[in-house]
Amino acid sequence: MNAALTAILITFLAAFVAEKVVLALCRIFGIFAIVQERTCRVYVLFGKVTSGMKVVDKINTDGSTSGVPPKIVQRMLSVTIHES
């Protein structure tokens, strides 16, 4: 029983450390990045916005440049994507 608990503890600690190492390697090689809220820039790779920019601009004016969530929370209830 004692050996089983030791094996479980060692496995848990190894998995905990391995997760940190794998995530660090992923960040180093650019597989993913951690972006603070309200600081990211979104770019369209394919396509363009055809309507609704007034809503996007309104959401942007209620935002905060300091990274603090705004007092007014805006939510998009639906988005329609059309292929051209």
- The per-residue pLDDT for range 51-68, each reduced to its tens digit, is 777 877 777 777 666 666
Q: Report the C-alpha gap between 84 and 82 in whole angstroms.
A: 6
What is the pLDDT, as a whole number, of residue 67?
A: 64
Which residue has 């705004």 as its token pair?
70
What's the one-letter identity of residue 32? F
- The per-residue pLDDT for range 3-28, each reduced to its tens digit, is 999 999 999 999 999 999 999 998 88
